[in-house]
């Protein structure tokens, strides 16, 4: 397994290209909302038709909380959800309260190959094959660095 960090917040075209690749090579993705924060309900409602599951959790990619459980929204990764992700943000770290849900995580076959911890402005890839490494490295303008 290789771990790669994104070293600069993807913005504009780089963000849109990243989202296109993540959506195109994932079965699903999720984001979370926290009870103690507020979010734009209209935006959450736009994702509702594509939500396959919601659940309460104190642990998700890169995060464990001792406070109130977060609500995770598991989504289908498809053309429509991809467009919503691109429409509502111009950068990866725009996915934060009070406007948007947080911590986008993309899955393939139940494996989280991309995760983001928005408040800490941390995001990265967990790569298990050269196929996904080549996909990740082909995202034009994306600043990444392999971690030890």
User: Which residue is listed with tokens 């986008």?
Assistant: 104
Q: How far apart are CA 130 and CA 78, in angstroms?
A: 24
For the chain, what is the mean pLDDT?
Answer: 92
Q: pLDDT tens for residues 10-62?
A: 999 999 999 999 999 999 999 999 888 889 999 999 999 999 999 998 777 77
**Per-residue pLDDT, 69:** 84
């Amino acid at each position: 397994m290789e771990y790669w960090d994104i070293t600069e917040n993807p913005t504009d075209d780089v963000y849109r290209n990243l989202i296109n690749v993540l959506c195109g090579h994932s079965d699903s993705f999720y984001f979370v909302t926290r009870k103690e924060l507020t979010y734009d309900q209209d935006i959450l409602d736009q994702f509702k038709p594509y939500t396959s599951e919601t659940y309460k959790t104190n642990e998700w990619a890169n995060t464990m909380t001792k406070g109130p459980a977060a609500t995770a929204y598991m989504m289908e990764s498809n053309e429509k959800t991809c467009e919503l992700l691109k429409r509502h943000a111009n950068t990866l770290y725009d996915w934060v309260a009070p406007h948007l849900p947080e911590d986008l995580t993309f899955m393939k076959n139940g494996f989280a190959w991309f995760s983001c911890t928005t408040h800490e402005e941390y995001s990265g890839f967990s790569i298990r094959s050269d196929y996904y490494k080549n996909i990740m490295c082909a995202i034009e303008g994306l600043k990444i660095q392999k971690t030890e």
